[in-house]
Structure 1
Amino acid sequence: MGFGGISIWQLLIILAIVVLLFGTKRLKNIGTDLGSAIKGFKKSVNDEPPIENKDNASEQLTKDADFKAEAKKETDK
């Protein structure tokens, strides 16, 4: 018994059909594209936007704090 009632033989048949339909080169390209898309998404989620000017850094942080405070007030209403 395999995954959810699908045996290993059924999985191998499905894999063979997919390879016949798309070909190994196209499957490799799809995997590469999908991997780079996921990598880019993770990078954009983890990175914070850069502060443009070091002199204005405290001013920008103050604006961010004010914006968050206003948003919290609106959600509390």
Structure 2
Amino acid sequence: MGGFSLWHILILAILVLLLFGGSRFSNMMGDIAKGMKSFKQGLSDDDEAKNRQPVPPPQQLPPQAQAPQPPIDITPRAADPVAPPPPVDDQAR
């Protein structure tokens, strides 16, 4: 039901050839091939341009004139006292 058989594909191909014609169809395929070829050439040109440009060496930032920060205190402290939970209605009576 949902699949295409060989007959469906042949009929569809004949309709496409009738609508577009043989020369028109081959011209479209040639245009597509030219487009793919120029796309590949553009990609290779970009790769060559990247390889030709020298990469500048990394530069160090100048030291900033700031007062040194005091060290962070990480000594453990006693926990804050925990308040008792609020009374429930049954306990308050």
Q: Same fold (TM over 0.5)?
A: yes
Greater fraction helix? 1
**Could you say which TM-score interval applies, normalised by the shorter chain?**
0.5 to 0.7
User: Which stretches in structure 2 are left out of the alignment for 5+ residues?
Assistant: 59-93
The normalised TM-score by structure 1 is 0.58
Identity %: 33
2:21 match:
23
Hey, what's the Cα distance between the residues in 1 that align with 2:20 and 2:27?
11
Bigger Rg, structure 1 or 2: 2
Give me the CA root mean square deviation: 2.3
Provide the aligned length of Structure 1 versus Structure 2.
Answer: 54
User: Which stretches in structure 1 are left out of the alignment for 5+ residues?
Assistant: 52-56, 67-77
* 1:7-46 correspondence to structure 2 within 5 Å: 7-46=5-44
Could you list the structure 1 runs, at least 4 aligned residues long, displaced by more than 3 angstroms after superposition.
none
The normalised TM-score by structure 2 is 0.49
